Amino acid sequence: MAVKAVGTWVAGFCETGRSDIGGRRAIAGAAGPNWRSEVSTVGGRLERAGVCMKPVEDVKPMKDENFSSVPPSSEVDGEAGNGGADKQLGKLNRDLPSGLLPKPLSLTDLTVSSHGSNVRVAYQGCPGAFSEAAALKAYPRCVAVPCEQFEVAFKAVELWLVDKAVLPIENSVGGSIHRNYDLLLCHRLHIVGEVQMAVNHCLMTLPGVKKEEIKRVLSHPQALAQCEIALSKLGVIRESIDDTALAAQLVASNDLKDAGAVASARAAEIYGLKIVEERIQDTPDNITRFLILAREPIIPRADRLFKTSIVFTLEEGSGVLFKALAVFALRNINLTKIESRPQRKRPLRVVDDSNYGTAKYFDYLFYIDFEASMAEPRAQNALAHLQEFATFLRVLGSYPMDTSL
């Protein structure tokens, strides 16, 4: 088996490493301002390590912020971290004049170009969503751009409509957001940072409506699940909405006197609702982790805490997953997350064994986060070792860790 080492990360440039495994080539990833795309043939198909898009006229990609200067999460939940957005939006009444709120991007909006000197950050949801707060925590003076769906946020970055996207990837209570794991592989964006934010679920109603008068509560399914105990005591009907902030908007705009919403305190202020109870989540330490995505990767460093995210596939065999994880343990690299997702295009792998007959196995993609920078030799050596038995390997990003919590 011919194996080439993973590309060596140097200041300013990284050349993608490839390995020929059974007639196929695996991609290790690329980074740096002079980064270039690598193409390899996998089973007769072209696999690209990344796409370096040329910006449209007058739109310049933004430099990454220094994450050491990120303000505390308490500033985001209040007024200090939103860059004056609260003063601009004002406190809306129940009538909600449509001109005061930005309209979420939809798929039909993705052909329109965007101009401006401020960093534009896409998030999924409406103004007042927790994802908006995460975007403002990462980039306090950014222009936060709401999007209807996760995929719209990905495409908005690819089409140069925005500079970054901030999207949730896991919650300490609800677990992983599987849709975003799948989209990471479907799109050629790079993880350039992370944001960890405490989530405070508030129960809110129209002004003058008492908590005992609520017959139903609207919110996102995960928010409803995270407030199971409090909602069970109320004995209310739960209605699922695509976004927590959208739930607050619906209660206000439709004058629903028999309904409440579970959303952020900022959403209550934006839509003119009254908070009847705060922190109704079952677990007080409710943390959501968000990823910051960009068109180009950042240059990894070794002088601060970095995290690296990868995705790979393995052949079926005894102990093969153990071998994959051992490459990190042998080099004292801590794994912070392991997630497996079925391959949609090839969900089943058929193995014909003459001794035991034909067997069918689920074919998985393995996502791993580990605490090491791709600037470190131990990380480079670990991935070179992993390539010896991985059928596919891609670096999703090497980025600074958020240690603000």
Give dist(CA 306, CA 301) in Å, integer: 8
Pair (304, 389) in one structural domain:
yes
Residue 312: active-site member: no
Q: How many domains does the chain have?
A: 3
Q: Is residue 324 part of a domain?
A: yes
Report residue 358's pLDDT band, with 50, 70 and 90 as the boundaries.
Answer: low
- Listed residue (394, 392, 396, 395) closest to 42, CA to CA: 392
pLDDT at 318: 83
For residue 57, the one-letter residue type is: E
320-329 vs 377-386: helix axis angle to the nearest 10?
A: 170
pLDDT > 90 fraction of the chain, expressed in percent and rounded = 61
Q: Is residue 81 part of a domain?
A: no
Least confident of 140-154, 214-228, 336-350: 336-350
Higher pLDDT, 282 or 67: 282
Mean model confidence pLDDT for the chain: 78
Q: Give the residues across from 170 on adjacent strands.
A: 176, 289
Q: How far is CA 233 from CA 201, 210, 211, 227, in A?
A: 16, 15, 11, 10
pLDDT at 96: 53
Pair (136, 189) in one structural domain:
yes
Pair (266, 341) in one structural domain:
no
Looking only at the bridges linking them, the beta strands covering 216-219 and 259-263 are: parallel
The residue written with tokens 């990609």 in the block is: 61
Full-prediction pTM beyond 0.75? Answer: no
pLDDT at 99: 55
Q: What is the pLDDT of residues 93-115, one digit of tens each?
A: 455 555 567 778 776 665 444 44
Q: Give the residues across from 70 on adjacent strands.
A: none
Q: What is the pLDDT of residues 135-152, one digit of tens each?
A: 999 999 999 999 999 999
Report residue 14's pLDDT band, with 50, 70 and 90 as the boundaries.
Answer: very low
Q: What CATH number corresponds to the domain at position 268?
A: 3.40.190.10
Pair (206, 192) in one structural domain:
no
* Residues near 169 by beta carbon (within 8 Å), at least 6 away in sequence: 176, 177, 180, 181, 289, 290, 291
Please identify which of the residues 288, 312, 328, 392 carries the catalytic annotation: 288
Give dist(CA 385, CA 248) in Å, integer: 50
Pair (304, 393) in one structural domain:
yes
Q: Is residue 39 part of a domain?
A: no
Q: Is residue 14 part of a domain?
A: no
Q: Is residue 59 part of a domain?
A: no
The SS3 assignment for 219 reads strand
Pair (351, 396) in one structural domain:
yes
Residue 277: pLDDT over 90: yes
Residue 8: pLDDT over 70: no
Residue 290: active-site member: yes
Residue ending a domain, choose from 178, 197, 216: 197
Cβ 12 vs Cβ 1: under 8 Å: no
Pair (313, 252) in one structural domain:
no
- The residue segments making up the domain with residue 352 are 298-400
Residue ending a domain, choose from 197, 228, 263: 197
Give dist(CA 201, CA 76) in Å, integer: 15
Pair (319, 389) in one structural domain:
yes
Looking only at the bridges linking them, the beta strands covering 216-219 and 237-240 are: parallel
Residue ending a domain, choose from 280, 308, 326: 280
Mean pLDDT of 288-298: 97
Q: Is residue 96 part of a domain?
A: no
> For the chain, how big is the Rg over CA atoms in Å?
23
| Maximum CA extent, the chain | 74
Q: What is the pLDDT of residues 20-75, one digit of tens each?
A: 333 333 333 433 333 333 333 333 333 333 333 333 334 344 444 443 433 443 33
- Listed residue (157, 275, 260) closest to 213, CA to CA: 260
Pair (189, 205) in one structural domain:
no
Report residue 79's pLDDT band, with 50, 70 and 90 as the boundaries.
Answer: very low
Please identify which of the residues 150, 290, 306, 366 carries the catalytic annotation: 290
Least confident of 285-289, 307-311, 362-366: 362-366
